[in-house]
Amino acid sequence: MTVVDAVCPLMTDPEAWDLYIEGGVDIGAPTVANWETPSETRELLEQWARWTAEDERLVAVTEPGDFDRFPIPGRLGVIIHFQNGVPLGEDLANYGRFHGLGLRMVQLCYNFANPLGDGCLSSGDGPLTSFGRQAIREMNRLGIVVDLSHTGRRTTMDAMRVTSAPPVFSHSNPAALTAHRRNIDDEQIRAVADLGGLVGVVTFPSFVKPGGKGATVSDLVDHIDYLVDMIGPDQVGLGLDFCESGMEMVQRMIDSGAWTVEDYPMDADPRLVDLTCPSQIPSIRQELVRRGYPSDAIEGIMGHNWIDLFKRVWSA
């Protein structure tokens, strides 16, 4: 079984790589850029290229055939992910340039509006922009996965009408279980599934359980159950979104304007009670086994569904 965590902000810290390896993660997608300028982003991509070339623990994953090498004991595959369209700027040529430097998945927005569309925390619910339509078509042409997490509802629905390749909600939970603006409703879930896409579940407690306090792996797997009941086990995966721990990180994100105190409460720890570190990821598989999931469904949810999605989009 190859385990894939498709949303890994914590991987930007080299000290975390061993934690993912200890947790049995074979391939992770670090959040390489969020709000940086294109020139700053190029430097970050070049840094990752150096890391994957020089550190024996890391393996760049950029082509469909790369997945066939895994699992590799003691190695961690790297898929480059941006959690915002801002780092690409408003020059479509950057999509090709950054694809050449390894970029393989781009989230359209991060909570608020940008030149592509609107975010899920915006006061309005704006549409996908003309530039957003052009950007999606370019991503489709290049084989970059269109990621709709953190993006406003109307923009996501518009994007799903534009894209010719399967899109994803890389890390979004069902709003029916936890009514939070970062989560997605049943119509969004069915729409992405109808396009052959995927929904990755996320561990941030406030997205897992109302209020966030005391949220556990069992609560997280309730979201997997809900998704599987609706769209089947083949279109559900992990987008766990481990980031820095502690309330200082939450305060910093709120101060930056990227988060709001209403949506990211200061009194809730940013990690699940019993899943505080990537080394504990096997507890998700254990809970799936406990609930009676068949082995093929577990393999899919733990990683193979993401691999299938990446292979299909990257082969376009």
Assign residue 122 the CATH number of its domain. Answer: 3.20.20.140
Q: Which residue has the higher pLDDT, 244 or 108?
A: 108
* pTM > 0.85: yes or no: yes
Lowest-confidence range among 159-163, 211-215, 292-296, 307-311?
A: 211-215
pLDDT, position 58:
98
pLDDT, position 253:
63
- How many domains does the chain divide into? 1
pLDDT, position 170:
98
pLDDT at 268 > cutoff 70? no
What is the pLDDT averaged over residues 92-108?
Answer: 98
pLDDT at 249 > cutoff 80? no
- What values do phi and psi take at 175, rounded to 5? -65, -20
What is the pLDDT averaged over residues 250-271?
Answer: 66
Spatial separation of the C-alpha atoms in residues 155 and 141, rounded to whole Å: 20
Closest CA to 28 of 55, 59, 73: 59
Q: 129-149: per-residue pLDDT in tens?
A: 999 999 999 999 999 999 999
pLDDT at 167 > cutoff 60? yes
Closest CA to 184 of 139, 144, 227: 227
- What values do phi and psi take at 78, rounded to 5? -125, 120
Share of the chain above pLDDT 70, in %: 92
pLDDT, position 243:
86
pLDDT at 266 > cutoff 60? no
What is the pLDDT averaged over residues 58-77?
Answer: 98
What is the pLDDT averaged over residues 44-53?
Answer: 98
Token representation of residue 43? 């430097």
pLDDT, position 265:
65
What is the pLDDT averaged over residues 238-253?
Answer: 76
Spatial separation of the C-alpha atoms in residues 11 and 243, rounded to whole Å: 8
Domain that holds residue 158: 4-314
Q: 33-42: per-residue pLDDT in tens?
A: 999 999 999 9
Q: What one-character-per-residue DSSP string does 25-75 give?
A: --EEEEEEESS--HHHHHHHHHHHHHHHHH-TTEEE--SGGGGGG---TT-
Quickly state the pLDDT bin for 267 (edges 50, 70, 90). low
pLDDT, position 225:
99
